[in-house]
Chains A and B, each alone.
Chain A
């Protein structure tokens, strides 16, 4: 069977861990300038590396050797890459091994897994560049395809990404954008030379969420059954992208749940089927057509049931916190103070706002699962205390700069009066 009749399966895994804030009280404002709980962050990265990243990488490496046609796509945030460097270099080593197989492709994203697009376009571009640099430095790869934080996408974002030279971008394959079209195909940006790769969220969520739901009619889900669903899709639907957190394997779903065995059985079963072939985005745009255009003027994402920005900017606290951050952008950049600028970029990480969500129901449970705080209010108060400290330091810095300037512009002031 030639590749024209085959279904092309893209497996895309997302890796990200934020630099969580330390408990920063009102009484710390102006006194403590380390905003991050790096002990906690190290513990979490090491725990997830041991439970998820390392065993999952080992499994995929084994499967790539067994099935040379296997292809896997990864996106790793810059914030996590640097935490690997610091706390778990063995994970980087195993990614290098995966990269060397030639079966793995890495995506570009913002270094800080941030909402920077909504702060400032230059900031957004700068963070993409920094991520590229980091990927290149650590893994020797240069990404050609892009995924924005939590698959946040709009036509305008697509335009910037195309201008930066990326060939394609991942989006969530949701109805309001597909407009009756199938998620199982490649699309084009309406005006730019950019391919859109929709994630099939139904099938992705079968693994990422429903896999362990005993009330689900399909429970227990086996790898074989799941591969069967993919091969049974209508014949003309030739591209299927499954995208999910890599932490699904071993962290969100523990090893006891059988999730690694599931992944292995699924890949074995898909590899054995003549109807399915694995593909990465670079190859996909060469062999598959992308004829129709998709457009979304409003931002969409893969988060929560709303699939919009409401996971981060859905309530008053989130919006006020974000607006406050936004307000200080120019002042921070003007400060020319590297420490301030660095802290500012980490404060843009989407997770900080995600923790402030007050959503109820199953989405609320997911927000709470990820949050290191007891409540969204604690998350908000803590974040705003940090912002208050940032504002305090910006003021201090401005005063210092003004003093320096005065003493330079008025040379007499530095000459002792008795000379």
Chain B
């Protein structure tokens, strides 16, 4: 079985869970003797597997001239196409907290190659010219598609769907689209980006099979995108099995530390964390709360914490690097993920691996596979507060959650996911 796979990011160059999931899945597929051609917009060379770097693909003059016609081009060796697109997801943070947020991208650049043709220098990030990069990725994909042979095309999330569709059209091979998150999770029902929604829907419609990372996500795919449920297969994510990392040295600011770790966006429900904290602090004034991560809701969350006068008990870390995440786990007594709509949610598994007891919302895919976590509805602040206090106060509870969740992790492997996928490939 030979699979041509399109991704957007790959560890260690990631900003979210998509890259982590792609790596876990890829390694497991390779172990299951699937030969994998994994394409990313920009490879750095330090990834764990060999990647096809779309930034190095030479596009012929014919394709190039088509694209250049659409764009304003200057006569120079390095041509920058101005996108004119507004940042569509992190607009607010651009104005307020950019230094603490993401690395923003400029437009993809076309670099002319001496031997004729040109290549795109993709950034592979998420910024103002994301839409344009997605379109250019689809321009480059057929060139890659024609250079290799494969049995199946597999595209991860909407960013790669146009690329997948183009290659299917060219090669006639079956297309699998993998839904790690939908626009409804990211933006919430009221703030759907129509353009993104349309790309997602078209990808699912054109695909021969849709993989959803949870039943929660499959339900969204069926209900909101009107996809035939028979075409949608649930394959839960796994976690890379590893040892508990060595405790990073960070002074403990309090005997009781509760952590939220994730993007500070609508999807992750950060406000419910704050409201729960407020209830807890009324009774236990020495509990500290870490809000780790960044995102468009960060300023609003800072404002809310200040308004409640909780700032000495709340710590905002900004975006974290991986070693800093380990540091945060090392001082955390409870991790909480109050997501409003979480397709899967890999962070609770990472917390468990680091020996941290976990509270998750029922509105998450990970709740379907994790038994040894406390589960609450994200909106039920009293239940959230109660769960946090129970874990902080009852060592017995906290210990059994820790120990059992760790055991449970051993069954949540990427190998299981790879087996299911491999089966799906053969059915196509």
Considering the complex, give the chain B residue whose CB is closest to the CB of A327: B312
Question: CB within 8 A of A381: which of B250, B302, B307?
Answer: B302
Q: How far, in angstroms, from A31 to B298 measured CA to CA in the complex?
A: 25
Neighbouring B residues of A387 by C-beta, 8 Å: 311-312
> Contact residue range for chain A?
20 to 34
Question: CB within 8 A of B97: which of A321, A375, A385?
Answer: A375
From known contacts A316-B303, A317-B306, A320-B311, infer whether A27 and B250 are also in contact, taking CB-CB under 8 Å: yes
Question: CB within 8 A of A377: which of B251, B290, B299?
Answer: B299
- B197 contacts the other chain (CB 8 A): no
Dominant SS at the A interface? helix
- A411 contacts the other chain (CB 8 A): no
- B96 contacts the other chain (CB 8 A): yes
A385 touching B303 by the CB < 8 A rule?
A: no
Considering the complex, give the chain A residue whose CB is closest to the CB of B249: A31
- A219 contacts the other chain (CB 8 A): no
| Beta-carbon contacts under 8 Å, A367-384 to B | 374-375, 377-378, 380-381, 384
From known contacts A27-B250, A324-B311, A388-B253, infer whether A319 and B316 are also in contact, taking CB-CB under 8 Å: no
- A55 contacts the other chain (CB 8 A): no
- B89 contacts the other chain (CB 8 A): no
Considering the complex, give the chain A residue whose CB is closest to the CB of B307: A316
Q: How far, in angstroms, from A379 to B317 measured CA to CA in the complex?
A: 13
How would residues 87 to 116 of chain B score, 1 for a CB under 8 Å from any chain A CB and 0 otherwise?
A: 000000000111110000000000000000
Considering the complex, give the chain A residue whose CB is closest to the CB of B299: A377
Neighbouring B residues of A385 by C-beta, 8 Å: 315
Q: How far, in angstroms, from A26 to B292 measured CA to CA in the complex?
A: 9
B306 touching A26 by the CB < 8 A rule?
A: no
| Beta-carbon contacts under 8 Å, A158-213 to B | none
Considering the complex, give the chain B residue whose CB is closest to the CB of A23: B99
Neighbouring B residues of A228 by C-beta, 8 Å: none
B97 touching A377 by the CB < 8 A rule?
A: yes
- B117 contacts the other chain (CB 8 A): no
Q: How far, in angstroms, from A392 to B250 measured CA to CA in the complex?
A: 12
Q: How far, in angstroms, from A289 to B316 measured CA to CA in the complex?
A: 56
A binding-site residues for B, Cβ under 8 Å = 25-27, 29-31, 315-317, 319-321, 323-324, 327, 374-375, 377-378, 380-381, 384-385, 387-388, 391-392
B binding-site residues for A, Cβ under 8 Å = 96-100, 250-251, 253, 290, 292, 298-299, 302-303, 305-307, 309-312, 314-318, 324, 327
6 contacts between A and B (CB under 8 A): A26-B316, A29-B253, A317-B311, A320-B305, A324-B311, A378-B99
Using A315-B303, A319-B306, A321-B311 as known contacts, list a sample of 20 further A-B pairs with CB atoms less than 8 Å apart, ordered by residue number in A.
Answer: A26-B290, A26-B318, A27-B250, A27-B324, A29-B251, A30-B250, A31-B251, A315-B306, A317-B302, A320-B309, A320-B311, A323-B309, A324-B312, A375-B299, A377-B96, A377-B302, A381-B100, A385-B315, A387-B312, A388-B315
